[in-house]
Structure 1
């Protein structure tokens, strides 16, 4: 009898060893590569007119994360940049694919949307900085390569925090005749303006809701040491110093590193991504004006993220699924009459860069006239077990992000905007009728009026597709 019991126990022990040995290993690797400009001065975009900066106030980075479930590898990268064109990112992905073997369609590269980084994309009155544009994709590819080389066994988990303080709608419907109409923006009798101010009696209502959620994705070593953390929030930007700066995004990363006790860890990386913040900023114009700076905002956002982090339940293994799909949309082209008017107006500032709103958009009208009639967008969806990630190449309203989350098959969904390109603002169709800055026709706001609906619906479809793949492969809950 004892022999039978001993044999049964030995068999179970042997089977458990075999089972553990056969189980795939989840791995993660992280690396933040410095992408600060090597040559100064540099052109900086993000404003109505071009700026040239001759100093670096704080270093900027491409924060690279590579995940591997044993059969699928993906890369998620967040770059301290205002926006990056698809051609540049495709170039970076091709270089990284050659170095790592990770397919380009399994790479997500997004911009934080700091307004104080070197320009790699023509935006309103700014051009791209040619030298920096050549430098950046090489650095991104190096960063992905370094992240893959750092792959090590990891466990993964996520949670969602909330910060209600630092998100508010910056677009307001105004009383008739108050909002400015851009003579070259392609709109008429605008009723919406951006940043109406606190004591403006002419403001009526904010045009959209907010999304205060802060999804938090955490990677740890099997023994519980922090390896990487990815946070995500719908705040457009805060505002950096006069020199090149990563803005508040890097401050969030620094604060998360401190809160997690990872100050001395060379292997740890924090990354903070932009969610759907096209119509968001941190000032609520229904409340009294408050003082803020990028450090105080970062501490508040990081505190909310850390509160969620402490509730995370981890998995030793889960399946990774990633899909990419292209969507072709029309461009809102100027009429022949608008082109003729813009041509004559541009002659009045020939030989210099545009400075005023009419000058900027007159030039944009001519640039839009020369563009092809359609544009191809690259959309992506990722499944990490029961977490979904939607990658959007646009500046996206919070209402769009909330729609995607509501209709996602995943309980937790993270939206990352300005990913894999910078295809402009996509206001919901009903808001196009109200006009305002984000509807004014330009390279940064040019897609067909119903583009938002088509993009969001396609992303929900992609999320459902990745949710339905590898469903038989169950996540392995980490042992405490």
Structure 2
């Protein structure tokens, strides 16, 4: 097996608007830490696989398609074997907003950086052995839909590559929203995934690539977090970001260094998904909702009542997003994208899923998987909102409402079945 690694800076200019929070209306005022695209290219005989991890909120289908199309023309790899993921930082650039000129520039810049990183990784291939294991970090995450009894996933997965006895690169996976920093932060940052990568590299000398899990309802439980206001991340600080990144990095390093190397055998299979889009309103109904929301916001501003202004601002944002979403998907009934599964040994595999998925989906895939170490990666090859399980719709809440979630009901369960089908097939090849 041969592996190559590279990275490229994708930090946007100061003044770029940031993604992730409706309550954040001002542009960035500085850069706290650099954003990167990190690339790992894996080759084993005829099998080839690329993982790209971008320090941004999400990679939409159009962006992922453009990147994979270019890479597949430049390198000897099929486009469906290129997995393009986001770390889901909420302190990165808004590349899907209405700031057309700067948005288009940033998207082109990101495309070039991703393709360059992939090609550089390919040109730095070296013979490796595989080390893999599962650690655990409890007490630093919380289920924001049910802070007291809700499920979390404390497992930290590591797939490392050694050249001789020296660590060369590592893929690290943990399940938590990259929202240590809240809407009040105006500094560009990779959030805790960037800190994790930094300390893994300092401690081991290896290159680190972080991939987020099905963390749609999982938030950081940092010092200062109020469980009565668990969605409020304005309490987060850069010190908290360092705290969380160091904890995760130490567990990753321990897990990687304590494992014995094995001769890996790579297999990869991909499948094209067709995910239905639900449309609970007509475009004219959404237009009327937006008109009423705009009027309510103007009245709230006149009143000077800060509480009313915040509530009206959120309603206006929701109405605007509803209208914009229905306009985009007016003639589209389904989203098409690729999912994939990769195995490195009879006991270790990864599955890559699109968009923003609740933790129960990942937990169920791991429970049913034939691989002892199953890494479930979200935010890959498409970003189109939340994907809850069926029972979550009955409970309501932010992650289930349209247009925050636009997929047809049952999509979460469908992804579980598709993932298990791919994993079962991979396991049968050993």
Unpaired segments ≥5 residues, structure 1: 1-25, 173-194, 196-204, 263-267, 472-480
After TM superposition, list the pairs within 5 Å mapping 1:159-174 onto structure 2: 159-172=133-146
The answer (yes or no) to whether the contact 1:63–1:269 under 8 Å persists in 2 is: no
Quote the residue 2:305 is aligned against.
none
Q: 1:135 aligns with which of 97, 109, 134?
A: 109
After TM superposition, list the pairs within 5 Å mapping 1:251-266 onto structure 2: 251-260=195-204, 262=205
Quote the residue 1:71 is aligned against.
46
Q: 1:356 aligns with which of 313, 322, 346?
A: 313
Q: 1:62 aligns with which of 37, 42, 47?
A: 37
The answer (yes or no) to whether the contact 2:30–2:188 under 8 Å persists in 1 is: yes
Q: 1:149 aligns with which of 115, 123, 128?
A: 123
What SS does structure 1 have at the residue aligned with 2:31?
A: coil
> With structure 1 as the length reference, what TM-score do the two structures score?
0.78
What SS does structure 1 have at the residue aligned with 2:374?
A: strand
Deviations 1:416-448 (A, max 9, x none): 110111121111111111211111211x41111
Displacement of 1:58 in angstroms is 1.2
- Change in CA separation of 1:77 and 1:299 when aligned onto 2, cut-off 3 Å: same
- Change in CA separation of 1:274 and 1:142 when aligned onto 2, cut-off 3 Å: same
Quote the residue 1:265 is aligned against.
none
What SS does structure 1 have at the residue aligned with 2:387?
A: coil
Quote the residue 1:478 is aligned against.
none
- Change in CA separation of 1:51 and 1:460 when aligned onto 2, cut-off 3 Å: farther
Q: Distance in 2 between matches of 1:408 and 1:80?
A: 28
After TM superposition, list the pairs within 5 Å mapping 1:62-461 onto structure 2: 62-122=37-97, 129-172=103-146, 205-206=148-149, 208-221=150-163, 223-240=164-181, 242-260=186-204, 262=205, 268-283=206-221, 293-335=240-282, 338-345=285-292, 348=295, 356-370=313-327, 371=329, 372-386=332-346, 387-442=348-403, 444-461=404-421
The answer (yes or no) to whether the contact 1:327–1:379 under 8 Å persists in 2 is: no
Deviations 1:334-388 (A, max 9, x none): 24674253142255379xxx98111011112212322123222422111112211
What SS does structure 2 have at the residue aligned with 1:42?
A: coil
Q: Distance in 1 between matches of 2:244 and 2:4?
A: 28
Q: Distance in 2 between matches of 1:447 and 1:127?
A: 29
Deviations 1:310-329 (A, max 9, x none): 23221234232232332232
Deviations 1:44-76 (A, max 9, x none): 110014441142221110110001112211101
The answer (yes or no) to whether the contact 1:321–1:384 under 8 Å persists in 2 is: no
The answer (yes or no) to whether the contact 1:158–1:216 under 8 Å persists in 2 is: yes
What SS does structure 1 have at the residue aligned with 2:160?
A: strand
Q: Distance in 2 between matches of 1:406 and 1:253?
A: 27
What SS does structure 2 have at the residue aligned with 1:249?
A: helix
The answer (yes or no) to whether the contact 2:27–2:186 under 8 Å persists in 1 is: no
- What is the aligned length? 400
The answer (yes or no) to whether the contact 1:252–1:299 under 8 Å persists in 2 is: yes
The answer (yes or no) to whether the contact 1:75–1:106 under 8 Å persists in 2 is: yes
What SS does structure 1 have at the residue aligned with 2:194?
A: helix
- Change in CA separation of 1:286 and 1:51 when aligned onto 2, cut-off 3 Å: closer
- Change in CA separation of 1:76 and 1:133 when aligned onto 2, cut-off 3 Å: same
Q: Distance in 1 between matches of 2:156 and 2:26?
A: 32
What SS does structure 1 have at the residue aligned with 2:262?
A: strand
> With structure 2 as the length reference, what TM-score do the two structures score?
0.86
Point out the structure with the larger helix share: 2
The answer (yes or no) to whether the contact 2:269–2:422 under 8 Å persists in 1 is: no
